[in-house]
Each structure stands twice: as C-alpha cells, then as structure tokens.
Amino acid sequence: MIPVAEPSLSEKELEYVTDCLKSGWISSLGKYVPLFEQKFSQYCGVKYGIATSNGTTALHLALVTLGIGPGDEVIVPTLTFIATANAVTYTGARPVFVDAEPVTWNLDPAKIAEKITPHTRAIIPVHLYGHPANMDAIREIAHSYGLFVIEDAAEAHGAEYKGQKVGSLGDIACFSFSGNKIITTGEGGALLSNNHYWVERARLLRDHAMSRDRRYWHTEVGYNYHLTNVQAAIGVAQLERIDEFIARKRANARMYNSLLEKVAGLTLPPEEPWAKSVYCMYSILLEDSYGISRDQLMLRLRKAGIDSRPFFHPMHTLPPYKSHDRLPVAESLAAKGINLPSAVKLSADEISRVAGIVAEAPQVVVARARRPTPPCRSPGAAPDACLP
C-alpha cells in the first residue's frame, strides 16, 4: 500500500535518541527540549518558543495564555481539522465558523467581519494543507476590531507568506509535529511568539502552573503539556533536514502537476504568487466534469493499493458543532477534495502510478458500469443459470 504520509527517519534521529537514552534524561528535562525550542523558533523567525505534547495542547495554551474563556468567541475556519475548534471549546469559549476562500481553501477574510460580535476575542487562521492564509487581510481585520491572531500552522512548517515564514505572522503561532507533518517528533507541538511575557506565561501553565521559586507550589490550575526529551531529540534531527523535506514535497507536487494538469475535471492544489506552499498534503478537487465522484476515485485507488484521504468535513456539519448555517464554499470543497499520497519518501515511479490511476479512473469506472448484466444475474434468472 502506498501511504498518504509517513515520516522519513535517518541515522541522525537514532544517534540523538541514543544519546538521550544514555543520558538518562528521557522525560521532559534534558538538553534536547530547550535545543529544539530554540532551533525551531529561530527557523521560523520568531524570538521565543516552547514545545508541547501536541498541536492541540499548543492551541489550548495559546488561548488560555491570552485570557480567552467562558463568554468569549473565537473566529475559526470551518474547513480544517476539528482540533482548532476543540481547543477553543476547552477554554469555555465558543468557536464561530467562517466559510473558506475558494482559491486557497483557507479562511475567507471577506466573511470574517459579519461574524464578529462584542464577544469576539481572537481569529485563528489555519494554513490548510501547507498553503498560507491571506494574513494581511486577516491582520487588518483583527487590528480594526482589537482581536488577537493565533496562527494554526500545524500543516505548514516552512511555508512562506510574502517571503516571511508562517508562524511569525500573528500574535502567537501553534504547530504540530505528528507523524504526517513536514517534520515529526511522533507526537508533539510548539507555541511561538515574539512576546516574551506570553511565552513565559504559557511555559508556566504547561507545567501545572508550578512556581519556579517554590517547588510544588501551584499558583493556579495548569496543565501537563510537556514534550519529552526523547521526542525533542527526534525533532532536532528532523529540523536539520527540514529544507530537504520541503524541497522534496515541492518537487513531488511539481511532478504530480505535470502528470495531472491535462486531466479534465481536476483542480490542482493552489499556490498563489505571494505564497510558498509546502504541500503538506498533495490535495486536488474533482469537479463534476471529471466524471466520477471523490469516493469512487478513493475506492479505485484503494483497489490498486494506494491510500488516500478525503478533505476534512466542515466543522459546522459535525455533531459537536452542528448548525443550520450554510457555508457553501467549504461544503463544496469538502465534497470533492481528496488528498493523494504525499510522503517525502515517494518515488517518481510511485507518483506516476498514482497519477496514472487518477487519470484513467473515470474511463475504467464508467466502462465497468456499462457492461451488460450476465443473463445468470438478471432478475428472475434460474438458480442454475450460471452453472456450466
């Protein structure tokens, strides 16, 4: 089976993890955690950062650090993974869903203002599938209404907006390092900001709000959101290879594009002139003119030993957040979007094989549907009609 995503691990990860194990510091203390925090924030062009247990806890910490809680509202895109809305809900605040922009598939700035109320405190743009959101427009709205901007850059390590790396474009940024991301620590996350107070506040809350001056003295309710030293060791090694990974992701996307650009009915992944996408996922849309549905293509791929994923369900359609709102762009994108195999380890032959199935699937499926029904399978046929 050709997987949708898988990590690329080398001898360097093994070397650093072995060093970590030999040191005996395998929990949240040890040299690799602060080293990873420093190197990753530096890579993103941000002054400060802390590592967390995953991307969701990074989002939760960011919201709590900014004082967001019961009675507040936070603007989020409906088309993204549910963790973005869940983190808001954990604080007691309410996620308010906004439709997608049809070209980049990200939060539509033109739809934000109509959802802002006196209770709105923040906007969380998500850089979906590795393509940056339109941050200038979002920041302008946030500034006009006095709102925080929390970047959800879980899928966009190294992506750029007008030459500036994502993670450096809001008040606080959050990343994920799960196994399908550009770099991984197995599970893990990070919170970045140029505001020293916010980062130190988040660091305190990450450690059950234990006083730094008085051991086991807790000034408030905090959380255990640490990354382990073992995970950070993997992260340091992965970070040394991040440029290689991004170059490979972009090369894979170019190859896919060259093989699929003439296939009727496909919309290939966006890359706006002001953006550098990292193609965390190679994502396409199947238009009506493609001839078969997204789910039919997924079945055809699976039969050929190729994994794939649908786009996220818009969150306003999911049971925890079900509403009667119509957010038509996101709903349309979700119905026709598919993520093809996107691992950095994909070979050219594997990409060609996947693209070949995508190109030929409509003809194969339609041809099979037109085959005449064998007489023995016709309604009312005798039980022994197919016997020799």
Residues taking part in catalysis: 181
Burial letters for 202-240: b for 16+ Cβ neighbours within 10 Å, e otherwise?
bbbbbbbeeeeeeeeeeeeebbebbbbbbbbbbbbbbbe
Written as six digits, the tokens of 380 are 């009312």
The burial of 319, by beta-carbon neighbours within 10 Å (0-12 exposed, 13-18 middle, 19 or more buried), is given as exposed
Spatial contact of 127 and 271, defined as CB atoms under 8 Å apart? no
Round to whole Å and give the CA distance between 96 and 104.
20
Which residue in the block uniquely carries the two structure tokens 């190197």? Answer: 39
CA–CA separation, 245 vs 243, rounded Å? 5
- Whether the CB-CB separation of 87 and 56 falls below 8 Å is answered with yes
Q: Tell me the CA distances in angstroms from 115 to 109, 121, 235, 332, 386, one per residue in order.
A: 11, 12, 38, 21, 63
Q: Report the alpha-carbon distance of residue 173 to residue 190 in Å, rounded.
A: 8
Amino acid at 195: N
C-alpha dihedral, 369 to 374 to 379 to 382, nearest 10°? -160
Q: Are 239 and 36 in contact (CB under 8 A)?
A: yes
At residue 382, φ and ψ (nearest 5 deg) are -65, 145
